[in-house]
Amino acid sequence: MPSIHKKTIQTIIDGGNHDLAAVNGNQSLLYQTIKQKFIVQETFEEVNKGHGRREKRQVSISQTSLNLSNWPGLTTIIKGESERKTKHQTEYSTRYYISDLNETAFQFYQRIRGYWGVENKVHYVRDVTQGEDKSRIRTTPLPQLLALARNLAINLYRDAGFKNMAQAQRKCGFGLEQILTLFRMKYPCTRGGKKPNQVFVVRSAPDFHAFGSCPQTPVTVEADHIW
């Protein structure tokens, strides 16, 4: 969750909305103030195990007035702590958040986890799996077009039933068949003396593999229109 500038928070409040923002160390005055004023009033904790690791997440809240004129309307300090233990190492992290909401520790936990769920599903895939962070393309409008292409690829992978985006990307790199399946495109086929400009409709991977090579019902189109 990115940190939010105080002017942005003021705009959110003026619009009649609520805010939940992360506080980073570069916001030194605010960061030190909430650390000093934080007194645990309620805590929610969850432990998950799987894939060779144990993860413990804990969210604590302190509902108090910060009395900071530059940060209006803030009534709750949220402290998020996580412990990630694997066979070889244990990692700890602590994050602070501020909000004008008066909710329970469990409700704030759900909000924060919901944000990181989006981060992991979309931004992490784009940044790491698809290499967006390493891209050196800067000339407008290429970055925007590539972002659209990456989002399209993610949506196609998920629509095809893939849960692991890295695995989906690898499979699509193996050959044209998987890519055509994602787009539900027609797969060119020559078999039994059929003309090269005859193609067979492939609706899904099971349709294709069920016939061994090509489905039985041909659809004739001009070769120029196949791609």
pLDDT at 82: 92
What per-residue confidence (pLDDT) applies to 96?
A: 92
pLDDT of residue 9: 73
How much is the pLDDT for 226? 38
Query: Would you give the DSSP letter of residue 84?
Result: E
Quote the pLDDT of residue 206.
42
pTM for the model? 0.55
CA within 13 Å, CB half, 103: 18
pLDDT for residue 185? 72
Report how far residue 126's alpha carbon sits from residue 37's, in angstroms, rounded to the nearest whole number.
Answer: 38
Residues (pLDDT < 70) of the chain are 1-6, 66-70, 72, 117-121, 186-227
The pLDDT of residue 68: 66
Give the long-range contacts of residues 1-6, CB within 8 A, separation 24 or more: 1/95, 1/97, 1/112, 1/115, 1/116, 1/119, 3/27, 6/70, 6/71
φ/ψ of 22, rounded to 5, equals: -80, 150
Return the pLDDT at 114.
Answer: 81
Q: Read off the tokens for 126.
A: 């784009």
Stated as kind and residue range, the H or E segment containing 11 is helix 6-14
